[in-house]
Amino acid sequence: MRALVVEGLAPDFGGCAVREVPTPEPGPGEALVRVRAASVNFPDLLTTRGEYQFKPPLPFTPGLDLAGEVAALGEGVTSLAVGDAVVGGARLGGFAEYAVLPAEALKPKPARLSFAEGAAYGAAYLTAYVALVRRARLEPGEWVLIHGAAGGVGLAAVDMAKALGARVIATSASDDKLARVQALYAPDAVVNVTGGFRDRVKEITGGHGADVIYDPVGGDVFDESVRCVAFDGRLLVIGFTSGRIPTISANMPLIKGFSVVGVRAGEYGRQFPDKGRENSEAVWRMADEGLIRPHVHAEVPLDRWREAFDLLAERKVVGKAVIVP
């Protein structure tokens, strides 16, 4: 089979290449999936450079989220059948024609979603759910400020927050992207962060500030978010796509009475397995019911994987770029 293989850790994806590799075989409790689509997530890019928390040994095939059809089953698997359309993922393996995953990591693909949409859904929407529901304990009617709203995890958070009954302010540095976000998910307000956003957020919220701030950007965006978070607010640290990990003086949360809350959706599920299963079930149930739906920006063949990576790396994507093996 063909797979995108990381053979060395290098900048600009220099250690990546599509190779012919043996098709894996499922072991006990595993399933072999014919991959129909796999979405590109920011951690996928970081792992190619060795800059993510998870550092697999070389060589490896990246790809967190996938959708496809069950091609074979390992011993003891009774929850799936060959031919089933499934969605799921693991830390590795998605950017290939076939992938082996634990059967428990796979779920039936919601009929409402295409394979590309199913692949674009899991990690982004799970992150949004864990952040907003588990960590922020979001209440209907609260103001949620979502940074990087055109990106995969940001756009998922806009969709999720709206479904949860929040009042949403979506931000980006691009008016064109904000117009697309507005057309897709109708946030209550959009704000271009170029030149600052604190005063605009205060104006929109009637001086109250944002009850919850969802920040996958970090850097200067985090710094200014501290200035417009409401008293008793929750500032969610999702990631640092800006490239700078910010710091904060402890007197700021004290004086303003807000919390800085870290979000690692996958690790949350590993630390609290029962809650992790509840999170996953809740997210996929919302998809089944049509309450939320991901947006696929582009579907790119495996041989042109770099185009999909560059869309994310250069912040040209609205929603998710998906690789189609």
Global pTM?
A: 0.87
pLDDT-derived band at 1, boundaries 50, 70, 90? very high
pLDDT (0 to 100) of residue 53: 84
pLDDT over 90 (residue 89): no
Give yes or no for a contact between 213 and 138, defined as CB atoms under 8 angstroms apart: no
Q: What is the mean pLDDT of the chain?
A: 95
pLDDT over 90 (residue 91): no
pLDDT (0 to 100) of residue 224: 97
Task: Give Cβ neighbours of residue 185 (< 8 Å, ≥ 6 apart).
Answer: 155, 158, 159, 162, 168, 170
Helix extents (H) in 72-121: 115-119
pLDDT over 90 (residue 160): yes
Q: Which is nearest to 90 in space by CA: 136, 29, 146, 133?
A: 29
pLDDT (0 to 100) of residue 120: 93
pLDDT over 90 (residue 163): yes
pLDDT (0 to 100) of residue 213: 98
Percent of the chain with pLDDT over 70: 100
pLDDT (0 to 100) of residue 92: 92
Catalogue the long-range contacts made by 197-202 (C-beta closer than 8 Å, 24 or more residues apart): 197/171, 197/224, 197/228, 198/224, 198/227, 198/228, 201/145, 201/169, 201/228, 202/228
Please state the rounded mean pLDDT for residues 95-114.
94
